[in-house]
Structure 1
């Protein structure tokens, strides 16, 4: 019986015993996987020459985190006399995955290299090498591997990460060249534009900041501009206390000039609820409560269900109200917990998080993030 048929049989048996009350398909559980492992283990005992079943069993062990068992299976196959070369290459490829999962990155690269000698530089090999390079912090190498298979979005992402590291180390020219490469590969890359905007902000280069921010907002799709602005807000927050690019925190006066420059550029754009919200957040850097209130009210005119803008507006109004200490304490408590609601969601899988992401941590899709404007 083919290994995939055995795999389905194992799941079916498990579902009959433990999941009889379920309605509709259920995601595969740890118990399902263990049942499949038991069935496949029995199959290989009955047929020791079944290489495909061994490969499937190794994959299941890896999915369970039993890396040593998975590696043992691959090595036993690789060392088998008379093994077909194509199957040996597949074993090496899966062995590389096992090593990477186990954190043995040098061994993983060696296994992928050996597999590529027979399989060639296939897309699967290049993608695995790209992931391995990213795990090692070799972002430029990861970008190169993604470029070889035409993954321009991923290529630009890792070029931008390398540029960000260069800017942090004071290698300004190299950082700018990498940003230029990223934008030539994928012009609307929010990661590349963010790296450039942040560098100009930390350098306090106001004219360049204004030009770059203006060009970035014109290039990035409107539904992704918040990635640029959220990253800029994080950097401005950190720059008040942490040592940044030039080795010193930005002064209050410099931050005020940066804020005014950014708000001026954003004011030129066609207004939408998110742009107005981020203008309000920028105004709060200068403790400009009136300006923040103006932008929040404008945001709610554009989207009356924008819960986070309404929450910030309530917080501003609360400071001006005369309330009993008990009532103020309760309102502050509820507002604080409401702010912890996850602002971002992946449109591909529904994953929610409180930090912006370029790659979904769950489904690994690129640029699938949305800002949750409506509370649900």
Structure 2
């Protein structure tokens, strides 16, 4: 029986392997250096003792962490139908089966598995957490926000309130959208996505003053290492508006009444100047100035950036490009230089400060390790 197996003497690192397997099962961090090797070791243990329920559960979680969902589901089902399986283990197997189904995209099956686990007495908080994730993946953002709020998790609560507000804006429900954004900020004042959504909406509405006021409030409330997200998000909105204007035959009312670029930059620059000197704020100030042709002012901002951090590669790249017209280059050298500069601009600027994932675009929840607000800006290539 399983209990006899667990009473036998085990190697000194046995419990460490089990703990590592359980950590991987949550999908939050990969603590096992070589997951494949761990799978092989645990598979051998299972062959030697097929009654080892704990090992089966850990092995299934390792398969899930590797994306082998079908094999993980097979292991859970083999446990669930086992005659005489203790109620506690059956509940755990059903709970993990629900996680497997959710990871595989079978959301209805996941919900049924979680409900069965609940009926068998599995931890209610863990199940509610998984149900909140299910609601988010189904796009029922109001339910997801309510569920995370009940769990006392204000950051994901605020995030899904912002997603709800975005849907309201798209459907023309202005008052409901603004109410959701205010609720998000009350729940978690550091919700950078809420401040950004408010700011972009003000930009679309053509109010540069509201953009500046929202930016100022956002800079005061979000974590210092996330403030760049506000400026990057605003720049991305300007790019979307510019692309919409390039297609006059395509009606896109969402971007029809945006602020003129110069008016927006004139409103935003004083807000950035009012902050304590910061490398990324100075860099983005220079980028905004470049956008409206203020090259000498932009050059000054980039130079200030390098005074604070000499190895900030993007500021050096901008200064180099500003000086290129003054250089005499052979056609061959110019061609090669253009090639390398274009490649440099394609370097992924953002990374997850927890797992190191690199991305071209902003993210609020890391696609790999699922950590919240872990995005960072690669100010040097070592990050």
2:187 and 2:9 map into 1 onto residues whose CA distance is 40
TM-score, normalising length: structure 2: 0.83
Q: Using a 3 Å threshold, how does the CA distance of structure 1 residues 306 and 86 change in structure 2: closer, same or farther?
A: same
2:193 and 2:184 map into 1 onto residues whose CA distance is 9
Aligned to 1:78: 80
CA-CA distance at 1:250 after TM superposition: 4.5
Aligned to 1:181: 183
2:70 and 2:259 map into 1 onto residues whose CA distance is 57
1:328 paired with 2:330, answer: no
1:352 and 1:65 map into 2 onto residues whose CA distance is 20
Q: Using a 3 Å threshold, how does the CA distance of structure 1 residues 345 and 61 change in structure 2: closer, same or farther?
A: closer
1:342 to 345, 348, 353: 348
Counterpart secondary structure, 1:374: coil
CA-CA distance at 1:186 after TM superposition: 0.8
> 1:179·1:192 contact (CA, 8 Å) conserved in 2?
yes
1:351 paired with 2:335, answer: no
1:192 to 191, 194, 207: 194
Q: Using a 3 Å threshold, how does the CA distance of structure 1 residues 301 and 237 change in structure 2: closer, same or farther?
A: same
- The correspondence of residues 202-281 of structure 1 with structure 2, limited to 5 A, is 202-242=204-244, 247=253, 249-250=255-256, 254-281=260-287
> 2:205·2:258 contact (CA, 8 Å) conserved in 1?
no
Structure 1 unmatched ranges of 5 or more: 13-24
Using CA pairs under 8 Å that are at least 6 residues apart, name the structure with larger relative contact order, 1 or 2.
2
User: What are the Cα deviations for residues 188-230 of structure 1, in whole angstroms up to 9, with x where unaligned?
Assistant: 1111111111111111122222211111111122221101111
> 2:207·2:259 contact (CA, 8 Å) conserved in 1?
no
1:124 and 1:7 map into 2 onto residues whose CA distance is 30
Q: Using a 3 Å threshold, how does the CA distance of structure 1 residues 299 and 290 change in structure 2: closer, same or farther?
A: same
CA-CA distance at 1:59 after TM superposition: 2.7
1:159 to 135, 151, 161: 161
2:33 to 27, 43, 52: 27
Aligned to 1:16: none
> 2:204·2:257 contact (CA, 8 Å) conserved in 1?
no
Q: Using a 3 Å threshold, how does the CA distance of structure 1 residues 251 and 291 change in structure 2: closer, same or farther?
A: farther
Structure 2 unmatched ranges of 5 or more: 18-30
CA-CA distance at 1:66 after TM superposition: 3.6
2:364 and 2:325 map into 1 onto residues whose CA distance is 36
- The correspondence of residues 2-81 of structure 1 with structure 2, limited to 5 A, is 2=6, 27-44=33-50, 47=51, 50-81=52-83
TM-score, normalising length: structure 1: 0.85
> 2:57·2:76 contact (CA, 8 Å) conserved in 1?
yes
1:96 to 95, 98, 106: 98
User: What are the Cα deviations for residues 142-161 of structure 1, in whole angstroms up to 9, with x where unaligned?
Assistant: 22222222111121122112
1:160 and 1:31 map into 2 onto residues whose CA distance is 42
Aligned to 1:22: none
> 1:157·1:191 contact (CA, 8 Å) conserved in 2?
yes
CA-CA distance at 1:82 after TM superposition: 4.3
2:351 and 2:44 map into 1 onto residues whose CA distance is 38
> 2:228·2:280 contact (CA, 8 Å) conserved in 1?
yes
User: What are the Cα deviations for residues 131-175 of structure 1, in whole angstroms up to 9, with x where unaligned?
Assistant: 222222222222222222211112112211222222233222111
2:319 to 288, 309, 313: 313
Q: Using a 3 Å threshold, how does the CA distance of structure 1 residues 283 and 251 change in structure 2: closer, same or farther?
A: farther
Aligned to 1:284: 290
Q: Using a 3 Å threshold, how does the CA distance of structure 1 residues 97 and 346 change in structure 2: closer, same or farther?
A: same
2:114 to 91, 109, 112: 112
Counterpart secondary structure, 2:260: helix
Q: Using a 3 Å threshold, how does the CA distance of structure 1 residues 56 and 240 change in structure 2: closer, same or farther?
A: same
Q: Using a 3 Å threshold, how does the CA distance of structure 1 residues 188 and 340 change in structure 2: closer, same or farther?
A: same
CA-CA distance at 1:56 after TM superposition: 3.1
